[in-house]
Amino acid sequence: MLSNMPNSSSRATTSPAMLELARMLASCDLKVTRPRLAVLKILKNSTTPLSVQELAAALPPLPTINGVTIYRILESFTERGLIRLVNLRHNHLDYELVERHDDHHHIVCTKCGLIEDFYGCGASKLMSAAIKNSRHFATVNEHSVELFGLCKHCVKL
Ligand SMILES: [Zn+2]
Ligand SMILES: [Zn+2]
Ligand SMILES: [Zn+2]
């Protein structure tokens, strides 16, 4: 009976939230490791896309995590479609989690950098029209739309 008790080494993967993260990794054929779980957890809890620096700053101090591991983890996540890169014109790329059926995009303030999500980009219509008129393309699988403008605060400055 006692052998079923979670011990300290497995505690990190036994909470419901951690089990969900572990399941997300497994469904992408990624081995469940502490560094991967830690990176995924931060991306999952963030309401805005994160730069590598922001991500690194939010990570718990794990002996197995350094700059190289973070890049490798992000690369493996991107390859499997678990996360996507967004270009918010911040002179670096940001990463965010791809939630299933979640087609959201961002409006970015070009003055203060404020980010707001928006839905309803109408890309499916655009994509079928583009394919219909395309000479060389058979399918479109992805799209990226980011909008840039001034927030209500900055427009008054
Ligand atoms: Zn987003
Ligand atoms: Zn602004
Ligand atoms: Zn869209």
Domains and CATH numbers, the chain: 1-101 (1.10.10.10), 103-157 (3.30.1490.190)
The CA 116 to ligand 2 mean position distance, Å, reads: 11
The CA 146 to ligand 3 mean position distance, Å, reads: 9
The CA 104 to ligand 3 mean position distance, Å, reads: 6
pTM: 0.76
DSSP string, 59-107: S---TT--HHHHHHHHHHHHHTTSEEEE--SSSS-EEEE--TT--EEEE
pLDDT mean for each 10 residues of the chain (157 residues)? 44 78 94 94 94 92 86 95 90 87 89 93 92 95 91 96
The pLDDT, as a whole number, for residue 144 is 87
The CA 128 to ligand 3 mean position distance, Å, reads: 13
Give me the amino acid identity at 122.
Answer: G
